[in-house]
Structure 1
């Protein structure tokens, strides 16, 4: 019984997909830090006696505007992570890890660097369409 050959990756498509993911990672990281700052101002700095009782209508309004914007940014981040995952043909745990990077503040910055290393090592190690064209 023979093992089927691994289908080559499209290096150009993978690098383009990673470039989009890289931008989304940075934007998501910044957006999440802004959201954490807003929530800190709303509930800790200007909060009432109870933990989830806000007495500042300004921070309530800022939170109600920014939260959906951040949610949209995260959804774009997930879609671009899914696109990269598909182009690189990684396993499901890697996709879950890419999504997790966008959930913890600051982790998306480290996750972007880690993902960059994985993309580069996979493109160097695995066959690509461009390798076949160069021969």
Structure 2
């Protein structure tokens, strides 16, 4: 894995958790707004924040998909994580595992270790 690909995956990992948190908080605030009180409209503030985080996630997702050459299924799965509440946490965990595996494979290649 080259440096640009690793950076693209890292950016996607870093934005996935805040995007997931903002999705959940926005959903909770919206439910509270329509069930408990209409006087406090926190969703008006959180909506644009979540929107910016979602757009960043999509941009970083496209960059990572382009650089890693994921299959269609894998690429769409990472996009689906941005839509599922809390999916950003799952995406971060999977991306961390993927990047750690790539680092281990690169070290093994550099040291000349071959899997038997």
What is the TM-score of this pair, normalised by structure 2? 0.78
Q: Deviations over 1:55-94 (max 9, x none)?
A: x1422xx222321221121010011111111111111222
Is 1:14 aligned to residue 35 of structure 2? Answer: no
Distance 2:104 2:61 in 1: 20
> Among 97, 100, 106, which residue is 1:120 paired with?
100
Change (3 A) 1:88 1:120: farther
CA contact (8 A) 1:28 1:74 kept: yes
CA contact (8 A) 1:88 1:119 kept: no
The separation in 2 between residues aligned to 1:115 and 1:72, in whole angstroms, is 21
The residue number in structure 2 matching 1:44 is 35
CA-atom RMSD in angstroms: 2.4
Gap runs ≥5 in structure 2: none
TM-score normalized with structure 1 length: 0.68
Unaligned runs of 5+ in 1: 1-8, 47-55
Structure whose CA Rg is larger:
1
Tell me whether 1:34 sits opposite 2:25 in the alignment. Answer: yes
Question: Whole-Å Cα distance in 2 between the matches of residues 86 and 77 of structure 1?
Answer: 14
- 1:103 matched residue in structure 2: 83
More helix by share: 2
Runs of 4+ aligned structure 1 residues displaced above 3 Å come to 119-125
- 2:52 corresponds to: 72
Structure 2 contact 14–92 (Cα < 8 Å) conserved: no
